[in-house]
């Protein structure tokens, strides 16, 4: 990476910079330019109001790819601490990313010979693992984890320029092999980058077990790489106990490390001096204080679990102990060893055993014979602070029941537990065969849960559901739990097949399905296979000749069935295609969005024609037309040529030509449309249509009207007479005059009304 002044740019780099200037802020000053590997990779540093920001443009993209990339990168822009702004520059066919300029990247730190040792390295390793976990939780893929893309700001690890390195195929050594080969980056690509960065950070100090994990992270096959949970277990277990406890509490401590400027911690055997207190008395006082604190904490745990849990998460010394033997036994997937851990947790209430199970499960692991989803729902962040000790132990007992059933004997009645635990149990039940306990519990218990879960069940209650034994209630609880089986989804949709009921059920479950695309895909497939009006609507996506809907998630397709547009930005191709969607409200909304975002210079009449029932263009032809009109006039020609190669209906071409009567004679589409109609004479037009065509700015279009108008039909003769005095093209006015004179002097020939070729004035050749 080179840093140069704008004035020193030459050749292709200078040309690129000049082309990008219109999209830089007019009130900013370009102080320097960073140069990437390719000539088009120009990154201006702009000073505005005393702050320097980096403006980074992507390589040129198609409009569809550009819109999709912007929508995806918006997910990174909302991560706390990551200051970045993403915009689509459709005129330049590029994505623009704006972010701060950081003083030091990890790459620069390593190149400066800085030795990453002790707490600094531990903080960095833990922070990197934490940020990759956070991306995975948000379903985001950075695609190019490398030291040059890593900075720390205020103790937070920030990954710079997401997706751009993967998009540009930079051939970086930290880039996953499959991404270097041109594949779309997947979560496994971030695991490869994490392994590469950790190898660089740890060097020869990695333990044997850590080296094994790093070697697996760097395997060529994405499927062979370990999960982020496996990486976390191996690397975080090697950290000091206080660091592990802080991470378990949900807050990784990166500040407060003793330094040369800070007072050192007194030696363990040193007795602190307290004025007026003798050493022996100090020992008795401190012991008494410790006992009082312990009793207070124990009381909090029993009487105020929410306050106790908050204290545990925020104060490292209160974090419960961990036992590596329990952790390894539980992660072994050996049911015999796992049963020992479960017994220690359920029967003996050993905190370390409970933690081994809970931490492993909450990290995403699904051990054989364990109700992992049940435990994750029961201990959800939405209500975990409200759970009593009995609620937690009940959830743990129910989760491990398949491998340790003895604990069930001590369970309280289900109705006595927290609503979150009840929801977790309902989510693992069979919708068509509910238990008696569930049937005796009102749906109001689930309505009382925190948003967004409670309001979903409130909608179900409004539609007539009453108890947790109702099949649709259990089915929705199953969807909340994630990855429900097909029969649960079938039950939730309902067996009556009534359209209002089905649409209402889709609307209720959509927020959950949007967070779980595999369930949404299965849900969509069930609806499509059922047929009916919804099935026919969904089958529209199967007729996708260009494949533009293959990468759109299933939840967005369900949203379209409800008459709503997807929440993320789509490309002009998608919105153009939606003008042919079976639902009128989707057509109207797509047309409005096209006018506002992509076709600002086009008339409303054009989109009314294309979104109306009279549209006889195919989906591919509609997409080709609007994609061409979305481009700058200087770039439309090849796309318009493609459109007419698809041989659109001449009648539809005429309607589009009439709808674009507000364009002047330089419009390339109107000229080609008129040429197409001259060659394809199988089109018909009413007198009203011919009158509009006779006033068209395109001369060749007017010549078509004059050729079709008959001087022997009184209404059409009036149009010709009016145009004779208005026509500015001398050659065309002469033809009108000849036609009128011929009609007066001779009977109508059999071929009257055939097309008269247009000849440009003075040229003798047609356009």
Q: Rounded mean pLDDT of 326-337? A: 91
| Better-scored residue on pLDDT, 257 or 379 | 379
Residue 706 is predicted with a pLDDT of: 94
Model pLDDT for residues 465-496, shown as the tens digit of each residue: 999 999 999 999 999 988 788 888 888 988 76
| Ordered DSSP codes for 271-337 | PPPBTTB-HHHHHHHHHHHHHHHHHHHHHHHHH-HHHHHHHHHH-GGGSPP--HHHHHHHHT--HHH
In whole angstroms, give the CA distance from residue 419 to residue 441. Answer: 10
Residue 51 is predicted with a pLDDT of: 84
Q: Rounded mean pLDDT of 569-575? A: 88
Q: Rounded mean pLDDT of 431-447? A: 91
3-state per-residue secondary structure call for 411-480? CCCHHHCCHHHHHHHHHCCCCCCCCHHHHCCECHHHHCCCCCHHHHHHHHHHCCCCECCCHHHHHHHHHH
> Structure tokens of 164?
């751009």
Residue 195 is predicted with a pLDDT of: 95
- Whether the predicted pLDDT of 396 surpasses 90: yes
> Structure tokens of 201?
């950070």
Taking the CB of residue 389, how many other CB atoms lie within 10 A of it? 13
- Whether the predicted pLDDT of 756 surpasses 50: no
| Better-scored residue on pLDDT, 700 or 11 | 700
Residue 270 is predicted with a pLDDT of: 39
Residue 253 is predicted with a pLDDT of: 23
- Whether the predicted pLDDT of 287 surpasses 70: no
Range among 86-90, 282-286, 377-381 rated most confident: 377-381
> Structure tokens of 244?
């592990």
Mapped onto helix, strand or coil, the DSSP state of residue 539 is: helix
How far is residue 48 from each of residues 27, 31, 34, 65, 100, measured CA to CA in Å?
Answer: 7, 10, 17, 30, 11
Residue 123 is predicted with a pLDDT of: 86
In whole angstroms, give the CA distance from residue 399 to residue 392. Answer: 11
Residue 435 is predicted with a pLDDT of: 86
Taking the CB of residue 267, how many other CB atoms lie within 10 A of it? 7
- Whether the predicted pLDDT of 511 surpasses 60: yes
Residue with tokens 């097309």: 755
- Whether the predicted pLDDT of 535 surpasses 70: yes
- Using 50, 70 and 90 to split pLDDT, how confident is the model at 673? very high
Residue with tokens 């195929």: 169
- Whether the predicted pLDDT of 289 surpasses 80: no
- Whether the predicted pLDDT of 701 surpasses 90: yes
Q: For residue 611, which phi and psi values (nearest 5 degrees)?
A: -95, 0
| Better-scored residue on pLDDT, 294 or 15 | 15
Model pLDDT for residues 95-105, shown as the tens digit of each residue: 899 999 887 89
What percent of the chain lies above the pLDDT cut of 90?
42
- Whether the predicted pLDDT of 260 surpasses 90: no
Model pLDDT for residues 573-612, shown as the tens digit of each residue: 999 999 999 999 999 999 999 988 899 888 888 988 998 8
Model pLDDT for residues 70-118, shown as the tens digit of each residue: 878 888 887 878 888 888 887 778 889 999 988 789 988 888 765 577 7
- Whether the predicted pLDDT of 660 surpasses 50: yes
- Whether the predicted pLDDT of 259 surpasses 50: no
**Average pLDDT score over the chain:** 82
Model pLDDT for residues 154-173, shown as the tens digit of each residue: 778 999 988 887 776 556 78
Query: Parallel, antiparallel, or unpaired: how do β-strands 51-57 and 85-89 relate?
Result: unpaired
Shared fold status for 2-100 and 106-248: no
Taking the domains of the chain in order of start, what are their residue ranges? 2-100, 106-248, 316-538, 544-745
- Whether the predicted pLDDT of 269 surpasses 50: no
- Considering the entire predicted model, what is its pTM? 0.55
**CATH class belonging to 106-248:** mainly alpha
Model pLDDT for residues 204-217, shown as the tens digit of each residue: 888 888 899 999 99
Residue 719 is predicted with a pLDDT of: 94
- Using 50, 70 and 90 to split pLDDT, how confident is the model at 748? low
Residue 764 is predicted with a pLDDT of: 40
> Structure tokens of 10?
């030459």
Which CATH fold topology does 2-100 show?
A: Phosphorylase Kinase; domain 1 (3.30.200)
Residue 321 is predicted with a pLDDT of: 63
């Amino acid at each position: 990476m080179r840093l140069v002044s704008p004035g020193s740019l030459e050749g292709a780099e200078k040309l690129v910079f000049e082309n990008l200037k219109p999209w830089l802020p007019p009130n900013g000053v370009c102080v320097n330019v960073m140069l990437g590997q390719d000539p088009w990779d120009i990154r201006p540093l702009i000073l505005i109001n005393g702050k320097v920001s980096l403006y980074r443009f992507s390589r040129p993209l198609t409009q569809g790819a550009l819109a999709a990339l912007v929508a995806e990168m918006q997910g990174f822009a909302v991560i706390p601490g990551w200051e970045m702004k993403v915009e689509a520059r459709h005129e330049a066919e590029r994505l623009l990313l704006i972010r701060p300029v950081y003083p030091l990247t990890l790459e620069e730190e390593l190149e400066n010979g800085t030795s990453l040792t002790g707490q600094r390295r531990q903080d960095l390793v833990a922070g990197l693992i934490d940020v990759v976990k956070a991306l995975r939780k948000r379903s985001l893929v950075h695609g190019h984890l490398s030291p040059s893309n890593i900075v720390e700001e205020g103790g937070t690890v920030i990954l710079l320029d997401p997706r751009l390195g993967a998009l540009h195929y930079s051939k970086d050594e930290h880039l996953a092999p499959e991404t270097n080969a041109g594949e779309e980056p997947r979560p496994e690509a971030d695991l490869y980058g994490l392994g590469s960065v950790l190898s660089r950070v740890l060097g020869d100090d990695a333990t044997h077990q850590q080296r094994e994990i790093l070697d697996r992270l760097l395997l060529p096959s994405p499927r062979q790489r370990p999960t982020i949970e496996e990486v976390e277990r191996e690397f975080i277990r090697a950290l000091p106990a206080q660091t592990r406890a802080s991470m378990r509490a949900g807050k990784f401590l990166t500040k407060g490390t003793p330094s040369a400027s800070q007072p050192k911690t007194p030696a363990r055997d040193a007795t602190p001096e307290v004025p007026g207190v003798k050493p022996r008395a100090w020992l008795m006082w401190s012991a008494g204080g410790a006992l009082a604190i312990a009793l207070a904490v124990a009381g909090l745990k029993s009487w105020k679990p929410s306050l106790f849990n908050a204290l545990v998460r925020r104060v490292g010394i209160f974090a419960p102990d961990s036992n590596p033997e329990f952790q390894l036994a539980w992660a072994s997937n050996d049911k015999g060893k796992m049963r020992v851990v479960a017994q220690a947790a359920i029967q003996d209430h050993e905190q370390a055993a409970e933690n081994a199970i809970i931490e492993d499960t909450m990290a995403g692991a699904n051990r054989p014979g364990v109700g992992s989803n049940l435990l994750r729902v029961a201990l959800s962040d939405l209500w975990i602070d409200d759970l009593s000790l009995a609620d937690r132990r009940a959830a743990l007992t129910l989760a491990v029941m398949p491998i340790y059933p003895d604990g069930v004997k001590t369970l309280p009645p289900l109705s006595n537990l927290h609503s979150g635990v009840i929801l977790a149990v309902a989510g693992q039940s069979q919708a068509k065969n509910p238990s008696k306990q569930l049937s005796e519990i009102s749906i109001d218990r689930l309505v009382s849960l925190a948003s967004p879960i409670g309001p979903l069940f409130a909608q179900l209650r409004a539609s007539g559901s009453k108890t947790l034994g109702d099949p649709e209630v259990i089915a929705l609880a199953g969807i909340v739990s994630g990855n429900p089986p097909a029969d649960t989804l079938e039950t939730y949709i309902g067996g009556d097949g009534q359209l209002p009921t089905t649409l209402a059920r889709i609307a209720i479950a959509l927020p959950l399905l949007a967070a779980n695309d595999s369930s949404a895909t299965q849900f969509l497939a069930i609806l499509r296979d059922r047929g009916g009006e919804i099935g026919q609507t969904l089958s529209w996506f199967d007729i996708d000749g260009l494949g533009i809907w293959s990468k759109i998630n299933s939840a967005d397709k369900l949203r379209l069935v409800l008459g709503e547009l997807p929440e993320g930005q789509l490309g002009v191709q998608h919105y153009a295609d939606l003008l042919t969607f079976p639902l009128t409200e989707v057509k109207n909304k797509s047309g409005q969005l096209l006018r506002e975002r992509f076709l600002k210079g086009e008339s409303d009449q054009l989109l009314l024609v294309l979104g109306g029932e009279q549209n006889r263009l195919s989906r591919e032809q509609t997409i080709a037309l609007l994609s061409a009109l979305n481009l700058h006039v200087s770039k439309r020609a090849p796309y318009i040529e493609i459109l007419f190669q698809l041989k659109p209906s001449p009648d539809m071409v005429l309607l589009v030509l009439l709808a674009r009567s507000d364009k002047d004679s330089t419009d390339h589409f109107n000229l080609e449309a008129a040429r197409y109609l001259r060659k394809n004479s199988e089109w018909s037009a009413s007198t009203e249509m011919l009158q509009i065509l006779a006033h068209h700015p395109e001369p060749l279009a007017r010549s078509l009207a004059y050729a079709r108008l008959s001087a022997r039909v009184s209404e059409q003769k009036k149009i010709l007479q009016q145009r004779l005095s208005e026509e500015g093209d001398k050659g065309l006015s002469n033809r009108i005059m000849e036609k009128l004179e011929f009609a007066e002097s001779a009977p109508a020939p059999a071929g009257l009304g055939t097309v008269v070729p247009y000849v440009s004035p003075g040229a003798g050749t047609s356009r």
